[in-house]
């Protein structure tokens, strides 16, 4: 099992939004793209169960984010779970 292109795109977008808090900040857009691609490549080593969990987290995040700021705490919790699966630390907050 592998992640869908939509899920990879969504994770990449979340990584870009939270790069600073995750310690992924680099000097230019090209390096940013490589840093995010490296993080996504780490997901290939996950088990099918963990990949399914990532897919579910992303779908839940998408659904909740459509409701504006109503679910900020839940969104932050989902991001923390996702980033923990990816082996990333840092605080994840929804602005």
**pLDDT score for 28:** 56
Say which residues have a Cβ less than 8 Å from residue 4's Cβ, sequence separation at least 6.
55
Q: What is the pLDDT of residue 20?
A: 79
Q: pLDDT tier at 93 (50, 70, 90 boundaries)? A: very low
Yes or no: say if 54 and 60 are a contact pair by the CB < 8 Å rule: no
43 C-beta neighbours (distance < 10 Å), count: 18
- DSSP label at residue 93: -
Kindly report, residue by residue over 69-87, the tens digit of the pLDDT. Answer: 889 999 999 999 999 998 8
Phi, psi of 23 (to 5 degrees): 75, 25
**Digit-coded pLDDT (tens) for 12-43:** 889 888 887 877 765 555 555 676 777 777 88
The verdict on pTM exceeding 0.85 is no
């Amino acid at each position: 099992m592998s992640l869908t292109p939509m899920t990879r795109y969504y994770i990449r977008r979340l990584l870009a939004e939270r790069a600073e808090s995750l310690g992924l900040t680099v000097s230019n857009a090209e390096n940013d793209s490589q840093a995010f691609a490296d993080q996504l490549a780490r997901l290939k080593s996950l088990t099918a169960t963990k990949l399914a969990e990532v897919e579910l987290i992303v779908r839940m995040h998408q659904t909740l984010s459509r409701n504006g700021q109503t679910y900020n705490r839940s969104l932050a919790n989902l991001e923390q779970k996702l980033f923990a699966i990816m082996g990333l630390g840092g605080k994840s907050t929804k602005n």
